[in-house]
Structure 1
Amino acid sequence: MSRMQANSDVILIGAGIMSATLGSLLKELAPEWNIKVFEKLSGPGEESSNEWNNAGTGHSALCELNYTKEKSDGSIDISKAIAINEQFQLSRQFWSYLVNSGLISNPQNFIRPIPHMSFVEGEKNTAFLKKRFKALSANPLFQGMEFSDKPEKLREWVPLIMDGRSANEPLAATKINAGTDVNFGALTRLLFDHLKRENVSVNYKQRVKAIKRTSSGAWQVTVQNLENGKNENHLAKFVFIGGGGGSLPLLQKTGIPESKHIGGFPVSGLFMVCKNPEVIARHHAKVYGKAKIGAPPMSVPHLDTRYIDGQKALLFGPFAGFSPKFLKAGSNFDLFSSVKPNNVLTMLSAGIKERALTKYLVQQVMLSNEKRMEALREFIPNARTKDWEIVVAGQRVQVIKDTTAHGKGTLQFGTEVVTASDGSVAALLGASPGASTAVYVMLDVLRRCFPQQIEAWQPKIKAMIPSYGVSLAENPALFDKIHRATTRTLGLR
């Protein structure tokens, strides 16, 4: 028997960075609304948002080579890089607004300045990086980027990476000091502390068992208390599903037409973590390389300076693995139970089309520690096995859907929002760049799900996020003003 609770305006499922961001935006735009949050785990930011479960990169296309493709004519397409950068600028502005308003404090607890670098080997890759640098550095969003293929300059930038390398080996790198390291776990916890102060009902150890439409048009969310086993029914006008890898099964529970013909493929991640303080001290940057030919975008190797629990750390990865779980705290039956009559052909088609990905994952799962060390030594030639250990990172579920452009069973590598036609339900699926663009994604949710309110909310949104609705790439003076202001507020000098 389930007990009925009072109605809410909004129910947020999942206590990660996405729900935290949407809840914080709504509390500024509609402070009178009643908001409830339900999370299966015992606290906020314990799954995908946790600092050990993601790369901690403020993704703004400063170093990620997969955001700048080389076209058939040899030119570099920077349109995606511009879009990702502008989306991250929205996050910086909203975080700055929260800090300036006293709603969160001590930004150094979740964001720090870290140079972002791209590093490549070989003549072909060096030529590509030089063209990429020329294309990006001409845009105001990427001002301050430097390029070098001189060994002495590279030793100055990344001494740890250059030790043990041949003097005649073609190498090149770009470096920009405007990059950031973001502790999304710490930020999520700060945002939920803020939401609780704003009287948002945040409920942990609560598993969502069912989501169904009532005759009145509201959504009934059945939640089980994992401590006493009791069920409760909660009604809400709007439901947001921000459960990381667990969002797809929850979306399927709604039964909305938009949830059909969508599947998910789980990929687990591993990072190598340095245990030697002397090695950690010799590197200060996030350095992204180029993915191997045929490898998926999620496999781009990177050597990252991180700040976790106030301590400087050094991580390398990611290495992919496979688990049928959709979350680290999920079930081994997650993948199989997500296969429904309406998406089985979609899933089977993906299996046929993505044989290369399957082969890649099998190879990754079979890697020995020494093989992982060989991959690390492509970045740090003198790396010693005793200085490094493996940690298991988060689970990611890559979206599989039918598309007009690529047909049935197309694997999607970005972040995707699925909404009901009437805007009463929204679910966030997918992975990178994810958390970095949380504000952009949640503003899109507001636009799609609250069309009757969005016009009235515009002045407040613009007050919080001055570049909302404006291209910063096309307004360099505005970008310069905003970037200077957010740099000062967030302590990123």
Structure 2
Amino acid sequence: MATKEIDVLLVGGGVMSATLGTLLNKLDPSLSLTMVERLDHVAHESTDGWNNAGTGHAGYCELNYTPQNDQGDVEIDRALAINANFEVSLQLWSNLIASGDLPAPTNFINTTPHISFVWGEKNVEFLRKRWEKLSAHHLFKGMEYSEDHEVLREWMPLVMKERSTNEKVAATRISFGSDVDFGSLTRNLVSSLEKREQFDLLLSHEVSDLKQSSDGRWSVRLKDRATGENKSFKAKFVFLGAGGGALPLLQKSGIPESKGYGGFPVSGQWLVCQDEETIKNHHAKVYGKAAIGAPPMSVPHLDTRIINGKPALLFGPYAGFTTKFLKSGSKLDLFKSVRGNNLLPMMNVGVNNMDLTKYLIGEVMQSHEDRMNALREYFPKATSKMWTLAQAGQRVQIIKKDGSRGGKLEFGTELVASKDGSLAALLGASPGASVAAQAMIEVVERCMAGRIDENWQSRLKEWVPSYGESLIENGELLGRIRENTLSVLGLTKA
């Protein structure tokens, strides 16, 4: 069996691998890149439009990014970081449109106001505090706040329809928020890469063996799932961007940095509206507060979507528990991931998060009417026959060692890389795809530091004009960049 030598192997055909491949191609077109995807087409797992929220996560409406501390103060640091990182994605996409690597923006991104909606005196007070702190920062300039029922009816007519005028409610809105079809975005990125001579795409292939050779390169064996044929590669750098499949592959690599990591799988479901008139009457992403004990990915939202060019209205997601790491995975995935070095952290997380496990199992056991009652808190006049249940994506939350507790569960994303920078894996979920550009720039900086000379720095600056500067600190820079990206991407006031 002949072995093909390449510079970079991208494992997984989702938005992360597609973004990293795009960046590397722009930095050095001579690099040979191979993308391997276990399914028969790209962007079909976590990146698929039906498998994620499609929200351009910028911290505008997601209340879990701005928690209250024990003193009652609203903490906004995470929202600021996520917003600044999303701006990096917007810059990259804008420039890829200008270069012809991406099509017209409406193919993958559309203006959809981002709204946070709460009810009850305590929640209204929280939202007011949140708005006061966020709107004072240049990243959140333009955020509106109202407790006026008439104003809120204009913003979200379905939510406010026939709601009692005596009910204490409040909402914030960013009119230039976005809905992103990450599936369409990724397919276009990969399509552009396929035009390059130095890029190969292998569909229906999976990694069967992964070992580092004495020369520092990675010997990787792939299996064709259709024919059973084996292929052999030697790669200077391997990126594991396979969503829930990244953890087992990271463990297969055997790098010391992988020790102690485990995964906590969480599934999801949507209620999908079947009535076209109802869909037409809602144009916003309305996010509320998550139930006590719920994971961040299950923050409820009544959600306008454009998936594969077609409008849709979703509510959810309803979280659930499964032992699969991928939607198309095996029920044995969780058990196969247990190792001697992660057994204690996983056991500690299991014991210390029994309430979460019970919550997830309870979500699975809900009836259609139970789910409809949750929807009616956001759409009081919703009728059961107009909504059907659809399966959403699969997420694997990070379990890692913790000195004081033995193990802890994290709901963010984390880059795990070998000491020599020859292999990297991206674990976790939220905010995920929205910050793909910044996450992949960090892969380049961490794993290819020796190659980041003045030429690479200038090219990064060309594709991401804010590279090397802080959008959190520099309001003038943010103003110039945002004006351009909103114009190029058509994200004007809705």
Write the distance in 2 (CA, Å) between the matches of 1:166 and 1:332.
46
Query: Is the partner of 2:318 in helix, strand or coil?
Result: strand
Query: Is the partner of 2:457 in helix, strand or coil?
Result: helix
Equivalent residues in 2 for 1:135-284, closer than 5 Å = 135-199=133-197, 200-284=199-283
**Residue 43 of structure 2 corresponds to which residue in structure 1?**
45
2:440 to 435, 439, 442: 442
Contact in 2 for aligned 1:56/1:181 (Cα 8 Å) = yes
**Residue 336 of structure 1 corresponds to which residue in structure 2?**
335
* Matching residue's letter, 2:259: K
Contact in 2 for aligned 1:290/1:300 (Cα 8 Å) = yes
Once the two structures are TM-superposed, the CA of residue 407 in structure 1 deviates from its matched residue by 3.2
Give the unaligned 5+ runs of structure 2: none
Once the two structures are TM-superposed, the CA of residue 215 in structure 1 deviates from its matched residue by 2.0
Matched, 1:320 2:315: no
Write the distance in 1 (CA, Å) between the matches of 2:482 and 2:284.
20
- Alpha-carbon RMSD: 1.0
Give the unaligned 5+ runs of structure 1: none
Equivalent residues in 2 for 1:20-419, closer than 5 Å = 20-199=18-197, 200-404=199-403, 407-419=405-417
Contact in 2 for aligned 1:37/1:202 (Cα 8 Å) = yes
Write the distance in 2 (CA, Å) between the matches of 1:362 and 1:226.
33
Write the distance in 1 (CA, Å) between the matches of 2:32 and 2:424.
18
* Matching residue's letter, 1:478: L
Write the distance in 1 (CA, Å) between the matches of 2:309 and 2:240.
31
In the TM superposition, what whole-angstrom CA distance separates every residue of 1:247-296 from its partner, at most 9, and x where no partner exists? Answer: 00011110001111100011111001100011111111001000122322
In the TM superposition, what whole-angstrom CA distance separates every residue of 1:308-356 from its partner, at most 9, and x where no partner exists? Answer: 1222110000101122111111111111111111111111111111111
In the TM superposition, what whole-angstrom CA distance separates every residue of 1:95-114 from its partner, at most 9, and x where no partner exists? Answer: 11111111222111000111
Once the two structures are TM-superposed, the CA of residue 426 in structure 1 deviates from its matched residue by 0.2
| Percent identity for Structure 1 against Structure 2 | 53
In the TM superposition, what whole-angstrom CA distance separates every residue of 1:113-139 from its partner, at most 9, and x where no partner exists? Answer: 110000001000000001111111111
Query: Is the partner of 1:374 in helix, strand or coil?
Result: helix
**Residue 484 of structure 1 corresponds to which residue in structure 2?**
483
Contact in 2 for aligned 1:353/1:409 (Cα 8 Å) = no
Once the two structures are TM-superposed, the CA of residue 470 in structure 1 deviates from its matched residue by 1.4
* Matching residue's letter, 1:67: Y
* Matching residue's letter, 2:188: L
Write the distance in 2 (CA, Å) between the matches of 1:240 and 1:4.
22
Contact in 2 for aligned 1:17/1:49 (Cα 8 Å) = yes
Q: Name segments (4+ residues, structure 1) moved above 6 Å.
A: none
Write the distance in 1 (CA, Å) between the matches of 2:213 and 2:58.
42
Contact in 1 for aligned 2:181/2:308 (Cα 8 Å) = no
Once the two structures are TM-superposed, the CA of residue 473 in structure 1 deviates from its matched residue by 2.6
* Matching residue's letter, 1:68: T
Write the distance in 2 (CA, Å) between the matches of 1:190 and 1:180.
18
- Number of positions where the alignment pairs a residue of Structure 1 with one of Structure 2: 490
Once the two structures are TM-superposed, the CA of residue 175 in structure 1 deviates from its matched residue by 0.8
Write the distance in 2 (CA, Å) between the matches of 1:75 and 1:342.
39
Once the two structures are TM-superposed, the CA of residue 60 in structure 1 deviates from its matched residue by 0.2
In the TM superposition, what whole-angstrom CA distance separates every residue of 1:63-110 from its partner, at most 9, and x where no partner exists? Answer: 000111222333221111110000000000001111111122211100
Write the distance in 2 (CA, Å) between the matches of 1:102 and 1:282.
34
Once the two structures are TM-superposed, the CA of residue 357 in structure 1 deviates from its matched residue by 0.8
Once the two structures are TM-superposed, the CA of residue 455 in structure 1 deviates from its matched residue by 3.4
* Matching residue's letter, 2:308: D
Write the distance in 2 (CA, Å) between the matches of 1:93 and 1:244.
24
Contact in 2 for aligned 1:240/1:426 (Cα 8 Å) = yes
Contact in 2 for aligned 1:376/1:383 (Cα 8 Å) = yes
* Matching residue's letter, 2:99: S
Say which is worse superposed, 214-223 or 23-32, in terms of deviation: 214-223
Query: Is the partner of 2:101 in helix, strand or coil?
Result: coil
Contact in 2 for aligned 1:264/1:400 (Cα 8 Å) = yes
Write the distance in 1 (CA, Å) between the matches of 2:75 and 2:264.
29
Once the two structures are TM-superposed, the CA of residue 474 in structure 1 deviates from its matched residue by 1.9
Contact in 2 for aligned 1:286/1:304 (Cα 8 Å) = yes
Contact in 1 for aligned 2:218/2:235 (Cα 8 Å) = yes
Contact in 2 for aligned 1:268/1:395 (Cα 8 Å) = yes
* Matching residue's letter, 2:226: E
Contact in 1 for aligned 2:348/2:405 (Cα 8 Å) = no
In the TM superposition, what whole-angstrom CA distance separates every residue of 1:433-488 from its partner, at most 9, and x where no partner exists? Answer: 00000001001101110110123311111111111121213221211111111111
In the TM superposition, what whole-angstrom CA distance separates every residue of 1:154-198 from its partner, at most 9, and x where no partner exists? Answer: 111111001131111110000111200000000000000011011
Query: Is the partner of 2:490 in helix, strand or coil?
Result: coil
